[in-house]
Amino acid sequence: MSRPVIENLVWIAVALGVVGVYLSWTAGRLDRLHTRMDAARAALDAQLVRRASVVLEVATSGALDPASSLVLYEAAHAARQAEEEQREVAESELSQALRAVFADADQVEVLKAAPGGEAAAEELAAAVRRVPMARRFLNDAVRAARALRRHRKVRWFRLAGHAPFPLAFEMDDEPPVDLADRPA
Amino acid sequence: MKIGIVCPYSWDVPGGVQFHIRDLAEHLIRLGHEVSVLAPADDETPLPPYVVSAGRAVPVPYNGSVARLNFGFLSAARVRRWLHDGVFDVIHIHEPASPSLGLLSCWAAQGPIVATFHTSNPRSRAMIAAYPILQPALEKISARIAVSEYARRTLVEHLGGDAVVIPNGVDVDFFAKADPNPDWSGHTLGFIGRIDEPRKGLPVLMAAFPAIVEQCPDVRLLVAGRGDEEEAVASLPAELRSRVEFLGMVSDEDKARLLRSVDVYVAPNTGGESFGIILVEALSAGAAVLASDLDAFAQVLDQGAAGELFANEDAGSLATAAVALLRDPARRAELSARGSAHVRRFDWSTVGADILAVYETVTDGAAAVAADERIPLRTRLGFSRDG
């Protein structure tokens, strides 16, 4: 082969190499994003389960009046048993139930006055504050992963493999004001 | 928990971010956590035992002013060594988008990363151009914290995604329990901040001062902060200059006493504020606060419920509001009482618990922080995602 042909082949090889490294780096980025998303989803799941358990505890403790207890028990039970597709709705309903029951600042005081109520109120406050946190972190990861996955280089070279397209978790997670009194 | 905190600015230069990191680290250590802070510092600077030096910061022009930043191979190597030696459960990076230690740590680390965005610069061309460079580093951050709703809004606008709002912390009792100084009370207005930095707003206050003196003849103005005192009063009529007292740089103790003593604390800042820690300190000390109506200030002051607001850069509006406050002790007492209750949410006990909650949320089910090693090529090419 003549020299110009070899030279051209070398250049093509170099170009392919550069593209390969770039794609490999992008795949690494994507992989990291998927890991981050999985961790964030697990963290949100843990916070939601934790919130439902604390609510169940409060509801069955007898510290609140029977009507409020029943409303909370029902909502927390439904949230815990919900199938994946119904979960966003069930968890939102639990948030609404909590807001309805603790709409009155006195209700928080009633809970705190019961034996062991101080600790329960604190746990409940921590749980209702952490759910929105965990959800924001998950949706932030989802947004970043989606932005990268929509990119041409990722679609053309199928860098995402068979990983499912990331879905955000949408729910009403507004905590009761008197329970978690601080800026959002 | 083993926590690594990255400070982007020189430890030996006083500044809001540095103080915030110092207080956060000390708060976490008191709670029994293991904390290591990586910060730029001169080799001769005495450092607290929990601070690790990342070398000297180099002054370079950046973003319209001269900033002291850390970059280059040496800094990157120190970041890697710190990450490797620390084996942290979580690292907390401050200002991850500044071209300094924050960004370097973002590049070098993997695992649970928490980041706090302090500033809220308006969208700049540099930011747009830098977006493709920043994005791969910033997308490693598992949890973003903004220091105010305003900072969160600008962050979301610039970089997309979302963040939780956790305000900066203040040791409320330190200010609430300071002894008032009788020399500094009785018809006094207070101002704390750089005198020669127009954004801190002293010129606006100076412009309003003659009108205030006209209505309240025995008023005095106490100014604490660095800068040229002659130049600051140059715009005032000569007979009023004696009513302005300069205290120079004050210690933390004196700052607390000053805030406890003055009748009204004035914050005439004209912009560039994303939080307003000084307002929180003034509220902690029980001072009646009068501030410009910047977004960040309005939020700290609960939209005017915990302190009076005036139209930004409007000396007339400032003078009217200041005179009304000086003449109405009942209103001042009311603001002070409401401010003291409102400010509890900025106390370290509350803010620290929220930050720890973020750490716990991101470390749930995640591995520890490690240096970002290169992944084998075959794995990287995506053949093993579902494997």
- A144-177 per-position pLDDT tens digit: 999 888 888 888 888 878 888 888 999 999 988 8
Please give the share of chain B, as a percent, with pLDDT higher than 90: 48
Nearest-CA distance A137 → chain B (Å): 5
Contacts of B360 in chain A (CB under 8 A): 130
Q: Residue A176 falls within a domain, yes or no?
A: no
Question: Is the separation of the CB atoms in A164 and A41 below 8 Å?
Answer: no
**Sequence-separated (6 or more) residues with CB below 8 Å from residue B134:** B97, B103, B159
* Same structural domain, B98 and B73: yes
Highest mean pLDDT among A46-60, B110-124, B368-382: A46-60
Kindly indicate the confidence band of residue B365, based on its pLDDT and cuts at 50, 70 and 90.
low
Question: Is residue B101 helix, strand or coil?
Answer: helix
CB pairs under 8 A between A and B: 108
What confidence score (pLDDT) does residue A74 get? 93
State pLDDT tens for residues A113-142.
888 888 888 899 989 999 999 999 999 999
Contacts of B380 in chain A (CB under 8 A): 24-25, 27-28, 31
Please give the share of chain B, as a percent, with pLDDT higher than 70: 91
Distance CA B12, CA B316 (A): 39
Question: Is the separation of the CB atoms in B216 and B323 below 8 Å?
Answer: yes
* Same structural domain, B183 and B69: no
**B350 vs A27, A32, A182: nearest CB:** A182
Q: Is B273 a residue whose pLDDT tops 60?
A: yes
**A42 vs B354, B364, B385: nearest CB:** B364
* Same structural domain, B158 and B213: no
What confidence score (pLDDT) does residue B375 get? 52
Nearest-CA distance B143 → chain A (Å): 5
* Same structural domain, B127 and B220: no
- How many structural domains comprise chain A? 1
* Same structural domain, B373 and B319: no
For chain B, the average pLDDT equals 86
Q: What is the mean pLDDT of residues B125-143?
A: 80
**Sequence-separated (6 or more) residues with CB below 8 Å from residue B30:** none
For chain A, the first-to-last Cα distance in angstroms comes to 71
Q: How far is CA B207 from CA B113, B289, B312, in A?
A: 46, 19, 13
Contacts of B299 in chain A (CB under 8 A): 183
- CATH number, domain of A80, equals 1.20.1440
Q: Residue A134 falls within a domain, yes or no?
A: yes
Describe chain A by its helix, strand, coil percentages, rounded to 5. Answer: 75, 0, 25
Q: Residue A19 falls within a domain, yes or no?
A: yes
State pLDDT tens for residues A76-96.
999 999 998 899 999 999 999
What confidence score (pLDDT) does residue B63 get? 61
* Same structural domain, B82 and B141: yes
Q: How many residues does chain A have?
A: 184
- CATH number, domain of B310, equals 3.40.50.2000
* Same structural domain, B135 and B229: no
DSSP B118-133: ---PPP-HHHHHHHHH
Handedness of CA B288, B291, B297, B298 (dihedral sign): positive
Question: Is the separation of the CB atoms in B115 and B103 below 8 Å?
Answer: no
**Sequence-separated (6 or more) residues with CB below 8 Å from residue A131:** A44, A47, A48, A51, A91, A95, A173, A175
- How many structural domains comprise chain B? 2
State pLDDT tens for residues B184-238.
988 899 999 888 888 889 999 999 999 999 998 889 999 998 888 888 888 888 8
User: The domain containing residue B270 runs over which residues?
Assistant: 172-344
* Same structural domain, B241 and B156: no
* Same structural domain, B337 and B359: no
Residue B142 gets which letter from DSSP? S
Distance CA A52, CA A66 (A): 18
* Same structural domain, B190 and B311: yes
* Same structural domain, B268 and B338: yes
Indicate the helix (H) or strand (E) that contains B61: strand B58-62
Which ranges in B241-328 belong to alpha helices (H)?
252-261, 277-284, 295-300, 315-327
Distance CA B366, CA B1 (A): 13
Q: Which residues of A touch B (CB under 8 A)?
A: 23-25, 27-34, 36, 39-40, 42-43, 46-47, 126, 129-130, 132-134, 136-137, 139-141, 143-144, 147-148, 157-163, 181-184
Nearest-CA distance B131 → chain A (Å): 13
* Same structural domain, B71 and B201: no
Kindly indicate the confidence band of residue B379, based on its pLDDT and cuts at 50, 70 and 90.
low
Q: Residue holding tokens 């700052």? A: B255
User: The domain containing residue A137 runs over which residues?
Assistant: 3-156
Q: Do A182 and B383 touch (CB under 8 A)?
A: no
